[in-house]
Amino acid sequence: MGLAIRLKKRVEGFLLDVEWDMNNELLVLFGHSGSGKSMTLQLIAGLADPDEGCICFNKKMLFDDFLKINLPPQRRSVGYVFQDRVLFPHMTARENIGYGLKIGNKKERDKKIDEMFKLLYLEGLENKYPGQISGGEKQRVTLARALIGRPEVLLLDEPFSALDNALRIEMRDLLRDIKYRFNVPIVLVSHDMLEAYSIADKIVLYSQGRVAHVGTPQEIFSNPLSSEVDLYMALNFPLLLSRF
């Protein structure tokens, strides 16, 4: 199983021009803010249309400008967690998670919701509202809602940026657990060096709308391929570089 993309998208003078692929792994899109990482997720999910290119997942074409293929978001089997946790404040945790499940009768839906509470360690929060639970619990509810439909790929747009360091570490551990339990490829947008280094199977480093380097965390951070990437790393991550 795998995802392969080749995308071009111009927005207000900015050109995204990227190509990469992944297998069933946790891939981190890494780089400065404004380098096109979040835009890439939007294009994969079908929330925006590329100008050119193709998106193929598990040999199924989601988008191809030449073949005139452009599946709508609801047909792409994508779980998406935005940077700002979007939970409905008037709904309980159970109702929020169930909102992400559009099919099945009540008995089937209840069974799937109960399963998500168990898998995401949310037991006891079923009837609580977003304002009554912690930041980490809100994040788990958001992830549960994205996963309840059993998507074929999970897209995460800096989901932990608003959390404190302790919770960020907890969420990284949770992502590894999700990867194991759900057996789902994950694309995580981040500009946090420690997050990328500690969690990724593969890193795609973005620079000004283009792919500057692709590799394992060790390859990216210890052996940059170009002077531009070398300077990027030296200026931003001297503590990490000093460890090698």
CA 113 to chain centre: 22
Q: Helical H runs in the chain?
A: 37-45, 93-99, 106-119, 135-147, 165-182, 193-199, 217-222, 227-236, 238-241
pLDDT of residue 244: 44
Average pLDDT, the chain: 88
Over 118-171, what HEC string results? Answer: HHCCCCCCCCCCHHHCCHHHHHHHHHHHHHCCCCCEEEEECCCCCCCHHHHHHH
Q: What is the mean pLDDT of residues 205-217?
A: 93
pLDDT digits (tens, 9 = 90+) for 45-57: 999 999 999 999 9
Q: What is the mean pLDDT of residues 77-105?
A: 87
Q: Which of 133, 96, 140 lies closest to 119, judged by CA?
A: 140
User: Within a 10 A sphere around the Cβ of 231, how many other Cβ atoms?
Assistant: 11
Residues of the chain with CATH 3.40.50.300: 1-77+157-211
pLDDT digits (tens, 9 = 90+) for 113-161: 999 999 999 999 999 999 999 988 999 999 999 999 999 999 999 988 8
pLDDT higher than threshold 60 for residue 238: no
pLDDT of residue 82: 85
The single-letter code of the amino acid at 234 is: A
pLDDT digits (tens, 9 = 90+) for 29-78: 998 889 999 999 999 999 999 999 999 999 899 999 999 999 999 999 99
pLDDT of residue 237: 56
Following CA atoms 160, 164, 166, 172 in sequence, which dihedral angle do they give, to the nearest 10 degrees? 10
pLDDT of residue 234: 62
Q: What is the pTM of this model?
A: 0.89
pLDDT higher than threshold 50 for residue 217: yes
pLDDT of residue 126: 96
Q: What is the mean pLDDT of residues 161-190?
A: 89
Lowest mean per-residue pLDDT among 139-153, 189-203, 217-231: 217-231
Lowest mean per-residue pLDDT among 12-16, 67-71, 224-228: 224-228
**The dihedral of CA 171, 174, 178, 184: what is its sign?**
positive
Q: Which CATH number describes the domain made up of 1-77+157-211? A: 3.40.50.300
If residue 10 lies in a helix (H) or strand (E), which one and from where to where? strand 3-11
Following CA atoms 192, 194, 200, 206 in sequence, which dihedral angle do they give, to the nearest 10 degrees? 40
pLDDT of residue 231: 59
